[in-house]
Chains A and B, each alone.
Chain A
Amino acid sequence: MLDLLNEVGEETSAATEAMPPVEPSSAGERQRLRHWPLGFESWPAAWIRVLAALSGSALDARELAERCDIAPAEVSRCLNALRALDALDRPEAARPAPAADSGWRLIFHLVGRKLGFRT
């Protein structure tokens, strides 16, 4: 099991290290998902959070890092991977959707605890 985890970690690390840093010209632009990558289930959990965020909202890199609670560098790697797959759109006049309220957070927490969510 440990070998498998190490192997997956090395693959992910190699894949993400090979990617260039996010282009400064696109870092502040809001983008949303054109389609979910077919192999997303093998992506890191943090990247799946980015996919979930971009599936319903147009967000820039800084907004994504805040909403998904992950490091900006990780967001950049994920956005680069999505760009390579032509999976991003740049909608005109996009505004980010509002954050979830506390009533919703309670439901999320209860269902996640009961069913055993991992992400």
Chain B
Amino acid sequence: MRTSAKLAFIGDPNAGKSTCIAAISDIPPVVTDVGCTDDLADVKQTTTAALDYGEVGLGEQGRLLLYGLPCQARFRFMFDVIREGLLGIVLLVDASAPHGLRGLEETLETYVRELREFPFVLAPNKSPGADDALKSRCLDLLRGHRLVAPICTVDARRKADIVRLAELIFLMLDLGGRAPASGDLVWA
């Protein structure tokens, strides 16, 4: 039997979802970027319009599937598409965004229920410096929503950084009594 467990990467536009997946995926990531046609065009040329996808092979036993999801409320339905077999969430933040942490606020508003249900790590990416102040503001936002999660600044291009995020999620699952039962994993 083979199992397909999943990790989700959720974040505001330009937060680094596709880059994270590319950092650890065994296959070339499937990206769904399209050209920006709204105000976002001032920030970046393309943005994720659907699910990004990558995977980590686990030999005969299965795969760890990696999904990137946009943070906007209008894409919220995508979460239900990947919910079965989901282990945890990496919540990415574009720390260099001109609008500060507004993207994180939007993501927390959209996904607060899911973030209480699944273990997650908050990962500010592209931090311009002053990490302590940035993490402190992120912590205030988490506590405002009564959410508990580790906050780790990352460079989404670095495999070691993304592995560390995955490791924290797996530790929370394993030691925090939140590991899925075998029957809740997707077996094929």
| A, B in one complex | yes
Residues 25 to 81 of chain B near chain A (Cβ within 8 Å) = 56-59, 61-62, 64
Cα-based distance from A72 to B150 in the complex (angstroms): 24
Write the nearest CB–CB distance from B126 to chain A, whole angstroms: 18
Classify chain A: how many residues form its interface, as a range.
35 or more
Q: Is there an interface contact between B167 and A53, defined as CB atoms closer than 8 Å? A: no
**B151 proximal to A (CB < 8 A):** yes
Q: Is there an interface contact between A119 and B3, defined as CB atoms closer than 8 Å? A: no
Which one of B12-20, B98-106, B177-185 is at the A interface?
B177-185
Cα-based distance from A35 to B122 in the complex (angstroms): 12
**B148 proximal to A (CB < 8 A):** yes
Q: Is there an interface contact between B174 and A55, defined as CB atoms closer than 8 Å? A: no
Q: Is there an interface contact between B178 and A111, defined as CB atoms closer than 8 Å? A: no
Write the nearest CB–CB distance from B83 to chain A, whole angstroms: 17
CB neighbours (8 Å) of A101 from chain B are 179, 181-182
Given contacts A38-B132, A38-B139, A111-B64, contact A98 B171 (CB under 8 A): no
Interface of A is mostly: helix
**A67 proximal to B (CB < 8 A):** yes
Chain B interface, number of residues (Cβ within 8 angstroms): 41
CB neighbours (8 Å) of A119 from chain B are 167, 171
Chain A 74-103 interface 0/1 with B at a Cβ cutoff of 8 Å (1 = within): 000000000000000000000011111111
Chain B 121-160 interface 0/1 with A at a Cβ cutoff of 8 Å (1 = within): 0000000000010011001001100001111100000000
CB neighbours (8 Å) of A114 from chain B are 56-58, 64
CB neighbours (8 Å) of A49 from chain B are 171, 175
Q: Is there an interface contact between A100 and B151, defined as CB atoms closer than 8 Å? A: no
Q: Of B132, B152, B166, B177, which contacts A111 at CB under 8 A?
A: B166
The closest CB in chain A to the CB of B185 belongs to A103
Q: What are 21 A-B pairs at a CB distance below 8 A? A: A34-B148, A38-B139, A48-B171, A52-B175, A53-B176, A55-B149, A55-B150, A57-B177, A68-B175, A98-B177, A101-B179, A101-B181, A103-B182, A103-B185, A105-B174, A107-B5, A108-B170, A111-B170, A117-B163, A118-B164, A118-B167
Extra contacts, 4 of them, besides A38-B136, A114-B58, A115-B56 (Cβ < 8 A), are A52-B172, A55-B119, A111-B56, A114-B57
In the A-B complex, list the 6 residue pairs whose CB atoms are closest, starting with the nearest.
Answer: A97-B177, A56-B176, A103-B182, A100-B179, A52-B171, A53-B175
